[in-house]
Amino acid sequence: MGTRRGGASSLMTSLSFAAVESGRFTSGLRQIASQAGGGNGASGYYEPSDTIKKIVTATPQPVFSFSPCKTKVLLLQRPPSNPPISEFVREEVKLAGARIDPQRRTASKMSSYTGMSIVPLEAGLLPPEEGKDMPITGLPDEISAINYATWSPDGKHLAFFLRSTQFARRDEPCSLWVASTETGEARQILETPKHFMSAVFVSYSWLGSSDIVAAVMPEGMAPRPPSKSEVPTAPIVQLHESTTSKQSRTYPDLLRDEYDCASFEYYTASDLVKVNISTGEVESFGEPNRIYTRFSKSPDQKYLIVSYIEKPFSYAVPCGRFPKRVELWNAEGEKLREIAYLPLAEDIPIDFNSCRKGPRSIEWRDDKPSELIYTVANDGGDPKVEVSPNEARDTVYRVDAAAFAAGENPEAFFETDLRFSGILWCNDNLAFAWSSWWKTRRLVWYQFSPGAPEKGKEILFDRNYEDAYSDPGSPVSRRTKQRTSVLATFENDRYILLEGEGCSPKGNHPFLDLFDLETKTTKRLWESKDPNYESIGSLMCDGNGADVSFDNLSFLLSRENPQDPSQYSTISWPNGFDGEPEEKLLTNFPHPHPELKGLQKKVLKYKRKDGTDLNATLYTPPGYDAERDGPIPCLLWAYPREFKSKQAAGQIRKSSFTFSSIGGTSPLLFLAQNYAILDGPTFPIVGEGEEEPNDTFIEQLVSSAEAAVDEVVKLGIAERGAIAVGGHSYGAFMTANLLAHAPDLFSCGIARSGAYNRTLTPFGFQSEERTIWKAQDTYIRMSPYLFADKINKPILLIHGDEDNNTGTSKIQSERFFSALKGHGIPSKLVLLPHESHGYRAKESVLHCLHEMEAWMDKYCRANVGAADNDGVSSRL
């Protein structure tokens, strides 16, 4: 692997960090441009500056999970965020929208954990002191990855997958293990190869505290997948004789022929088995050799909802739209009755609020032992169908599982004139339901009595969900003894608690409110206080389904600020809400990237020329002072979003007091190289009333960018001609359009995994519902590929070689690069092997950062202090 870097870059690294530590930024630094040797046709992977590499490769803090009784914590150790690329060169099959590891029979490229231990809450802070945790023992000596770790319902055991991460053991199957939470001793409960785990769509589920239902490779299945003839036996033919419209967005990895169909069936089919973790007894469960996609147990553990895919498969849509049967089974694996048959769905409209015909959201009611719930769209799933005021667009049905098995049919009990979104259950006297509508951004929150539907429903809130300032928050839920989640109520269901982000013109201030369901009045109980960002999490007083009251109320609380990472506490009010809350600290996680401790963060507010309020988060390096040090190179990193009103578009949905967690490809990494980062400047694309936002996409995009650049220049942070622009996915699309339509605004661009030719996404993209045949001019104007000849600033294109995101195939970057090259535009295309829409392999991530750093050093940093009298760089 190539790791060499140019001398100028190395000098820049050492000088810049000396400047940070001393608080001085000399003019001499601005004259050094890194050439970053390599990456220009040379072979091998390259790495960014040492400090950036150190931040990226640091071991992340562990993940923790509370036991059902909430007296113990499962601590899961995470490996460095980016595994080596050797893990990604495993064989991968791409079928029907799924990406499969054929040897492990799981989804490919899964994230995992490297170790785990159990910690009593009374042991002190997490991570615990040595000797205060109980490691899981009995695991294999070789390095293994842990997946799908779950608590048993009674909290006495853990179940989890183990798989080898050693490159030499390519065909090592996944195995299912359990561990005692009292002793930490683990053992394998399904032996391989007899029970080779098969977990492409489903893995396993607890059925009570002693039994587990797991998906395994079908008995008697051929040891090898079907073979493909090297000589074609027929052409590939697709036929459409119906006059029904069948429009689909640009799905990747679709089936192409009968061989693909056979392979899909081979890799995804499974048998179900039930294993008793005490006796080790294994028995067959349900029908064998099916493509199971779900098994969901009822709260009383007596029934299951089971779904599986059937033929005919499709060459036009991914497997989520293949024919599916949904059945009711008992706990012994016997089919009792079919709940629904959902035929092949190639005709779901591309419009938002579209859905599949027939029952959807087939679920268990959380406050009943075994009541089935599902929803049916009366408009056939087509939002263009007009519904009169007296008609229901969606109807929700229910039936007790035992009665349904005996032949009783579901009854309608709830209707909405918008698209139904879901229900939060409490009891027969109280439940909340939500419905929404995309075109108007309307969200309605209802209160009703499930046991007396004749009483009708009452609207609690009817609002525009884009309006963050009017958000009342979300109801707090509690855990039941059956491990379901229901509405937490107080004093005979009169009061509920609402927790929310607290968006306001002063920034986000999360809150906890008491809401009176009789008077519909609200009392604020708690609110985050500056200069920290605090947020209420889940209830901590509902362990094992314990009753919740004002007397025992406690929550998980997180607290952070720009210099200190999030730490967790429990918060309670032993003296009532009028007294000061009490806290007990649970964690003491170290700073994840001390190299950038001291970074400076500020939320900026400014306007674009049409009066729309905009905002952005400005980050500057530790020790930087604009008055003393003058302008530094700046990277603007953004992602446009659509709105239906300027008022909603201009709202602030961020805080100056949050801690900045820096991921492997975060633009904030370049703070370590003395760049200012304007992160997430709002680029609202507004279409009020009947207007379509994208009809003025370019004008609004350019206007937002001009306002952002004006703001950082006015603050003295950056200067014109030394500001780079970049983004990922739709942000890459934004970047290319800005270089095409505002060619003098930025010094260069970085576009990762974008789409640049909208004629290649003819049935809609992002929030655009119209097809190219209905909005041809808009599609053309929004395609930077068609304006490549207008670009005059360097642009770096990075793309995953195996991008699986709808609409962003790597051909988008390949063709755009050809257009740029053909017009003499300084440009570079980097395709990252084995990477999808995001980048995960260590080598890929580091090389991506190397390319970005080299590009900006050459085309942005080098221009600091070189602007002419018009404020435009003369160095390009």
| Residues with catalytic function | 729, 803, 837
Rounded to a whole number of angstroms, the distance between the first and last alpha carbons of the chain is: 32
Pairing of strands 533-539, 554-561: antiparallel
d(CA 576, CA 828): 63
Record the tokens describing residue 234, joined without a space: 């027929």
Taking CA atoms, 189 is separated from 175, 192, 276, 624, in Å, by 8, 10, 9, 58
The SS3 call for residue 739 is helix
820: amino acid identity, one letter: L
State the angle between helix axes of 730-741 and 697-714 in degrees (0 to 180), rounded to the nearest 10: 80
Contacts for 572 with CB less than 8 Å, ≥ 6 apart: 541, 552, 553, 554, 555, 581, 582
Measured over all CA atoms, what is the biggest interatomic distance in the chain, rounded to whole angstroms? Answer: 85
Taking CA atoms, 679 is separated from 634, 749, 753, 871, in Å, by 10, 15, 18, 23
* Beta-carbon count within 10 A of 620 CB: 22
d(CA 779, CA 50): 43
- Cβ proximity of 468 and 647 under 8 Å: no
135: amino acid identity, one letter: P
- Cβ proximity of 604 and 617 under 8 Å: yes
Query: Residue with structure tokens 């359990």?
Result: 178
For residue 594, report the phi and psi dihedrals to the nearest 5 degrees. -60, -20
Angle subtended at Cα 187 by Cα 182 and Cα 191, rounded to the nearest 5 degrees: 155
Segment holding 860, helix H or strand E: none
Four-CA torsion 5, 7, 13, 15, nearest 10 degrees? 180
- Cβ proximity of 859 and 722 under 8 Å: no
For residue 325, report the phi and psi dihedrals to the nearest 5 degrees. -110, 140
- Cβ proximity of 323 and 311 under 8 Å: yes
Length of the chain, please? 876
- Cβ proximity of 180 and 151 under 8 Å: no
Record the tokens describing residue 827, joined without a space: 């440009």
- Cβ proximity of 246 and 347 under 8 Å: yes
Per-residue burial over 672-695, b = 16 or more CB atoms within 10 Å of its CB, e = otherwise: bbbbbbbbbbbbbbbbeeeebbbb
Query: Residue with structure tokens 């090592």?
Result: 172
Taking CA atoms, 596 is separated from 22, 81, 564, in Å, by 14, 18, 11
* Beta-carbon count within 10 A of 319 CB: 22
Q: Quick one: which of 593, 634, 779 has its CA closest to 694?
A: 779
Pairing of strands 411-416, 419-427: unpaired
- Cβ proximity of 799 and 831 under 8 Å: yes
d(CA 327, CA 304): 8
d(CA 826, CA 795): 7
- Cβ proximity of 545 and 482 under 8 Å: yes
Angle subtended at Cα 128 by Cα 122 and Cα 130, rounded to the nearest 5 degrees: 115
d(CA 305, CA 360): 13
d(CA 405, CA 339): 10
The SS3 call for residue 485 is strand
263: amino acid identity, one letter: S
